[in-house]
Amino acid sequence: MDESTAVVRTAGEELGVGETIWINATLYTEHRVIENGRLIAADNGTIRALGDELLPVPANARVVDCRGALLVPGFIDVHVHGGNGYAMMDGTFEALDGMSRFHAAHGTTAFLATTSTGAKGDIVRALANAAEHTGLTSGAELAGIHMEGPYLDEKRRGAQSKEHLRLPTPDEIDELVEAAGGHMRLVTLAPEIEGGLEAVKRFVAKGVTVSAGHSDATFDEVSAAVRFGLNHTTHHFNGMSPFHHREPGLAGAGLLLPELTTELICDGIHVHPSAVKLLFEAKSPDKVCLITDAVRPAGLPDGEYGEVVVRSGEITLKDGSSLAGSSLTMLQALRNAVRYTGYALEKLLPSLTSVPARQARLDRVKGSLHAGKHADFLLLTPELALIATHVRGKEVYRSEIAL
C-alpha cells in the first residue's frame, strides 16, 4: 500500500478504557526477538508486561490479535524541522501538531522539534511555543527541542541563514535555555568558533546534549570539545569539515572518537549508500542515530516552496547551491539502512529507538519495549510496511493494511 493513501486518526478517537493486550506478535525487545509474543499496556500508557504466548490475558482487557505482525519500538526522530507544509519555526501549535500527525504516519512516535538559524526573537518564540506544547500533540509525541544554530560556522552553514549566524554568549545561552522551559534536549553548534568551547561546557552543565554540526572544526578542535562534554554529531558527513588523510576533520573525528554518536540522513541523497555502510561498520548501530532532517515540504508534491525546490524527493535551495533539509521519513530511513548495510532488522533498530532516546536523555521512559516504559510502538508487516502507530498505548495512526 502507498502510505500516502492512509489516514491519521484524530485526537478524539479513543481506543477504550483499561488495559489492552496485543497477542500473536513478533516482539522486538532490547535483547531478543520473541515469536508469538504478547504486550500489555496499562491504562496510564505504559507497558505493564511483555513476553511469550503464556503471558496471561488480564480480565476485561481489550485484545488485539497481531496475526504475526512485527511489533517494534517506536522511532524517535531527534532532528526534524517540519513536514507536510508545517514547520517548527512557525511558532504555532497547529504547526507542531501537523508535523506530529504527518510523521506518525511514517513510523515516528516521538520527536524533538528542531529550530533553524534565525533572528533571536523568532528562535525564542519557537522555543517557547514548543515548550508550552510538549507532550500535547495528537500524533507523534513532541518530547522536547533540538536547537540547531545560530552558533554555526559560516563556511559550513549550508542552507542556514548567513544573516543570523552569531557567536555564543553566556547571557544569550541562558535566555534561550530559559525560553525552552527545561525542554531543550539537544543543541547543534560549531565548537571551533569564538566562545564555542565555553558554549559546549555551559549547555552540558544545563543538561543539554551538545552536537557538533555545520562546523569546520579540525580533528584536534573536535577532540577538545569532546573533553568539554560534546558527544554527538549533526547529520554526519553533511555540513562539516570532511575527512582528509592529513586532516581528518569533524567527519574523521566522528568515525574515530568513541565518545561521539553520529546522526545520519539515510536517504541515499545526503550520503552515498556505501558511506552509510562505512559509518555503520565503523561505529556500530549503537553509535549511529538515524534522523530525517525533514523540512516543511517533506511529503508534498514536487515544486517550489518559498526559497526551496522539491524534485524527486530532493530538497535544495532555488539556486541549487545547497541541499536544504530532506523529505525523508523514519520508516524509509530504516528501509534504506536495511538495503544499504545488509544488516538484520534487529541489528539496526537501536539506531532509530534506543540510541536517539539515549542522546535525547529520554531513555528512562522511551526507546525500547520494556515494562514501565511508555507503550510507544509500531506494527509492521515483514516487508516493513506500516500497519499502525501507537503512542503511550494509544493508536494515533492506522493504515489500510489489515491485521
Mark out the alpha helices in 139-188 (DSSP H runs).
170-179
Q: Confirm whether residue 232 is marked as ligand binding.
A: no
Q: Confirm whether residue 179 is marked as ligand binding.
A: no
Q: How far is CA 81 from CA 73, 84, 85, in A?
A: 22, 11, 11
3-class SS of residue 352: helix
Q: Confirm whether residue 103 is marked as ligand binding.
A: no
Q: Confirm whether residue 323 is marked as ligand binding.
A: yes
Q: Confirm whether residue 36 is marked as ligand binding.
A: no
Nearest by Cα to 368 from 24, 17, 50: 50
Rounded-to-10 torsion of CA 300, 295, 11, 13: 50
For residue 326, what is the DSSP state? B
Q: Confirm whether residue 346 is marked as ligand binding.
A: no
Verify whether residue 293 is a known catalytic residue: yes
3-class SS of residue 62: strand
Q: Confirm whether residue 268 is marked as ligand binding.
A: no
Q: Confirm whether residue 45 is marked as ligand binding.
A: no
Q: Confirm whether residue 91 is marked as ligand binding.
A: no
3-class SS of residue 272: coil
Q: Given the residues 97, 293, 363, 376, select the one marked as catalytic.
A: 293
**Residues ≥6 apart with Cβ < 8 Å to 23:** 38, 53, 57, 63, 64, 65, 66
Q: Confirm whether residue 270 is marked as ligand binding.
A: yes
Report the alpha-carbon distance of residue 389 to residue 117 in Å, rounded: 32
Q: Confirm whether residue 239 is marked as ligand binding.
A: yes
Binding residue ranges for Zn(2+): 148, 214, 235
Binding residue ranges for substrate: 159, 238-239, 246, 270, 323-325
Q: Which residues are catalytic?
A: 293
Binding residue ranges: 148, 159, 214, 235, 238-239, 246, 270, 323-325
